[in-house]
Structure 1
């Protein structure tokens, strides 16, 4: 007799962990609730099986007949990065009259922290999950795959999603910026990046950028990295450092607008001709740039639209006929500003 296919959205149960670990459901329950007399070897066996399966204990079991609450788990890398508040704005706007409430967790770009935040949020049985990026630990991915609810990974389409995906291609965005810079006549090009390699989207932009340079017979003349977060001051400092080391650079591409804006301030303060002597470009299109007398070239990363489209999927309002597995790719728009020579 052929077994029926397993529902990909079926929530894992104690029985699944029991069968995987070879102990009774009662013992599994005692281990996961950290109660009762259980040997260390049995406890380790149960916890290992639960992690491998992606099982998350239900903290509201028995409290609600539906076993779901009207919460949507939103997991993002940072609140200090100006990119994500606009994403949250799009999500909140779309969920406003659905009865669903967003609850936010922050990972600080740490895969282990993301795994921990996801575990806690899933234990409350939300109605859906929206999280930034496609890269997760094996345990986090297992939890997502077995959550039994809509999952939407946002900001990036360069990779394989767990369920639905809404974002842009960062590799294509980096390639497009390189092609524009090359057409404008720049040849001695540097790169400044923060939070890399943890910021996978910035890494992918750089991959697309350097690939396009290579096709034109060019390569990066210099690179400067900082493991911490983005800030205007850090952009100033890193720009000063790279120009002291490689003074003949005629263009600097930044991993984001915050460090790029700091670099622009350094160049203006030191009297460098922008964009004649040196060109500059960032990424994200944050509104902060509107307050500068010289506008940094950048790309609008469709942040608010990404949030809205992700929330539509969670709320069941998507324009697609698909139920799960939807991929929505948006196209970032170049904002040339004043820091790239006109073609």
Structure 2
């Protein structure tokens, strides 16, 4: 990317851009976006549709600051009930502590529509940068990010095309690595248990990578169990009971996260299953909270605090590479077999 492209990439859209694209005056655009003045319904609809398609967000601090920016960093994550994201936010806060920048958090609840609304509101305050979880966005959200004129860092996932910078891990490779470890340990009747699968793209990519690597080993998933609630111990127990009642000869259960995996582990212990000989289990995320379980659940560290720290360093202009925009940082998670995978 040359200097001219970089400059154009960072230019925020203006009222004039919307005016030219919609074919009406800047004053009319301003009236529509401020919901003031006498504007016909047809013109109003055309302006609103044009602004959304372009990704234009009104500037709530226009005229208030010479720089037209505030020292806020918009941080948008899908959940705070999932233990992963508070640790990411901790890494962001630590990296920004003496930078003069202040993170402001928004939560989408894995909803594309909610992400649009949160992003629109945050960008209207003209933050100095945006950190947003994931690479998948609606067309309107992507347009807003592409035309914000500020550094954008998408986090957690590198399996896709970023808008600007990206910091994360390959969830597809994480799934592949877990599948190879399971196959090497001699398991062959394998079930997958996942949460938020329609909307959690990272869990979906892990499952896809998992199935790819199983196929390479001549294996296939024997069963799947999905649900749309939060990541909870009780739900993990219920899902495990359900899948084993349906398929009692399963010898390994791979969970999309550690919390439901821990619930499954407790259920298997209560049922008297020999672990890991009769049945093996593994989760994902490397959550420290689970260290007190009767058995150490096999898992994979998602590098969450490092992801938050590295993303914040890019926004603050302190990245290790010294690049300004367009940075790609892929971290490597570590597989911990714990006590729930047979020794190969």
Calculate the TM-score normalised by the size of structure 1: 0.98
Show the counterpart of 1:136: 137
Partner Cα distance (2:288, 2:63) in 1: 47
Show the counterpart of 2:181: 180
Q: What CA deviation, in whole Å up to 9, does each residue of 1:154-173 have, x standing for no partner?
A: 00000000000000000000
The secondary structure found in structure 1 opposite 2:221 is coil
Partner Cα distance (1:225, 1:104) in 2: 29
Partner Cα distance (1:199, 1:338) in 2: 28
CA positional deviation for 1:217: 1.4
Please tell me the root mean square deviation across aligned C-alpha atoms, in Å.
Answer: 0.8
Q: What CA deviation, in whole Å up to 9, does each residue of 1:126-168 have, x standing for no partner?
A: 0000010000000000000000000000000000000000000
CA positional deviation for 1:319: 1.2
Partner Cα distance (2:292, 2:81) in 1: 19
Partner Cα distance (2:242, 2:53) in 1: 46
Q: What CA deviation, in whole Å up to 9, does each residue of 1:277-329 have, x standing for no partner?
A: 00000000011111112110000010000000000000000011321000000
Count of residues in correspondence between the two structures: 340
Residue 37 (1) aligns with residue 38 (2): yes
* 4+ long deviations beyond 6 Å: none
Q: What CA deviation, in whole Å up to 9, does each residue of 1:45-82 have, x standing for no partner?
A: 00011001100000010111110000000000000000
Partner Cα distance (1:250, 1:315) in 2: 48
More displaced stretch, 320-329 vs 54-63: 320-329
Q: 1:243-322 maps to which residues of 2 (within 5 A)?
A: 243-322=244-323
The secondary structure found in structure 2 opposite 1:7 is helix
Partner Cα distance (2:8, 2:189) in 1: 55
Show the counterpart of 1:108: 109
The secondary structure found in structure 1 opposite 2:27 is helix
Residue 121 (1) aligns with residue 122 (2): yes
Q: 1:82-93 maps to which residues of 2 (within 5 A)?
A: 82-93=83-94
Q: What CA deviation, in whole Å up to 9, does each residue of 1:241-261 have, x standing for no partner?
A: 000000000000000001000
Partner Cα distance (2:324, 2:305) in 1: 23
Partner Cα distance (2:85, 2:296) in 1: 21
Partner Cα distance (2:313, 2:231) in 1: 30
CA positional deviation for 1:215: 1.1
The secondary structure found in structure 2 opposite 1:64 is coil
Show the counterpart of 2:63: 62
The secondary structure found in structure 1 opposite 2:156 is strand
CA positional deviation for 1:335: 1.2
Calculate the TM-score normalised by the size of structure 2: 0.98
